Chains A and B, each alone.
Chain A
């Protein structure tokens, strides 16, 4: 187990370094010299120069850049009157995190039982309903679902508010829209996993032992079927994260995604770079945690000594 954690940690750190380096390289490739744009105040330009150290040799710039990041200095926004990116992150990330966490929890709460039901009640309308929901969920991009829900439930039926983030009622539509895809993925995977596990030999043993069907399903089937779903939580987090970009835009939620998209549209290079590194680091850390979680859950990795 320790070996496993160490290995995963190393890869994560190297990946982080690779990400940061790629961003560094791409900055140098930006068309023209964005810092000579006349939209910048002399102050802003001076800040950029200081931050990036354009007057120094490349390798010095690189280490200076790394140093900045380690100190938490992500640069200064070009558009928002020299506000440090870090402050933007601090102010807006909690909203995104709130949205994201609610989404994951909701998706698991709905997706897992859906997948389990679909697998247990094969051939019934329950299975078909689950499959249909799952297939539709995978096929509709989040910005489509977001707008759809906004239109139907917000504007036409006037059941829920369609903008801002001021209370529980405000969270309903965004979370629903954002979680649709994830629910589909989780339920499909869970169903497939359950169906694969049910053919495994140890299920036969469990039945031969005279265990009640409930016990067979709960302790033997679900316990094993859930393993593949854990491995997919990493990519799911990434999908939800990118989903927040558009959902926050559509529902005017003051989260980090909104700033990121606006930054991209306004070509606020500083902010784009800073937020990119932050997002990247966040996802790498999340993936690492998922790997850790999986290592704890799967006894084959937890104990690590496989014989025979």
Chain B
């Protein structure tokens, strides 16, 4: 410790001032709400922000892309078969002479919407099931959970395939097939979270203060579970897109003349030797979309995690 110079100390400095009630309880860092904090963290994550940009771009192109090329995605043109990318056909043509750029983005519409819709439905159903089950407990919980446990053991894609075989192909059956068993993961997650929250003190306090069940669910449990739900949702979208691509690839999903990314990959695989670009282009976009969604999901999860500062 540096010794103080006696000359620095003057008599008046020893006058009494006592407690400083302001400074006593001072909190120096501004407090943010959970969502503000999460958004700030997310913004700092450059990778996540870039991914969000890519996803946005893909969605945008899905909307306006087909109009940009000036071609009709179903128009078969026998003279323009298997052309490499050029100024006229930006991504080339396929084996029936259809413009790939247009087909890609029409396909994007289908693949992306299936991905988002199916995931959203899974999320809603799963959250409700899991939330009710976790909150009510008792017999309801047991029944739902036993069902979930059993269904969880049944392989997802196998059931999806079976449902597709029974219902026939097309967008609606595809979504249905994916939702039939897809809600289970979310249900488990939400149930676990609700059970954990249910026993925390703030719920107990709310109850003691006279809050009814509904109020507790909406004002306390749901906001705290939203973080988990949103993260789960974001991570599930790429899987949904993959499932659609997979099913279309083996011939069960979207059928021609409609277009989806899986379907394009399938067609491309068939002429890999002669016209590889027909495979690589849809493959590239599937990959980059799933990559961006995964990276964004990672970033979102980190941002929503209150432990990571």
Contacts and interface: CB of A to CB of B under 8 A. Distances in A.
Interface of A: 11-12, 14-15, 18-19, 22-23, 26, 29-31, 135-136, 138-141, 143-144, 147-148, 150-151, 155, 238, 241-242, 245-246, 249-250, 261, 264-265, 267, 269, 272, 276, 279-280, 283-284, 287
Contacts of A15: 149-151, 153-154
A284 B245 contact: no
A151 B279 CA distance: 10
Contacts of B165: 26, 30, 264, 267, 269, 272
Q: Ordered nearest first, which 3 A-B pairs have the shortest CB separation?
A: A15-B153, A139-B291, A139-B290
Interface string B251-266: 1100000000000010
B161 to A, nearest CB: 6
Interface in B208-251: 238, 242, 245-246, 249-251
The DSSP consensus for interface residues of chain B is helix
B178 to A, nearest CB: 14
Contact of A246 (B246, B280, B291): B246
B116 interface: no
Contacts of B273: 155
B67 interface: no
Interface string B144-174: 0000011101111111011101101000000
Interface string B165-205: 11010000000000000000000000000000000000000
Contacts of A148: 280, 283
Contacts of A22: 154, 159, 162
A11 B153 contact: yes
Q: Contact size class for B?
A: 35 or more
Contacts of B155: 238, 241-242, 279-280, 283
Contacts, number: 119
Nearest to B151: A18
Given A143-B269, A144-B286, A261-B250, A276 B166 contact: no
B102 interface: no
B112 to A, nearest CB: 15
A30 B166 contact: yes
B245 A141 contact: yes
Contacts of B168: 31
Contacts of A249: 250
Contacts of A26: 162-163, 165-166
A22 B147 CA distance: 13
B143 interface: no
Contact of B150 (A11, A30, A150, A265): A11
A99 to B, nearest CB: 17
A279 B294 contact: no
B156 A238 contact: yes
Nearest to A279: B158
A285 to B, nearest CB: 10
A259 to B, nearest CB: 12
Given A31-B166, A242-B246, 13 more contacts: A22-B159, A22-B162, A139-B287, A140-B286, A140-B287, A140-B290, A141-B242, A141-B246, A148-B283, A150-B272, A238-B156, A261-B251, A283-B153
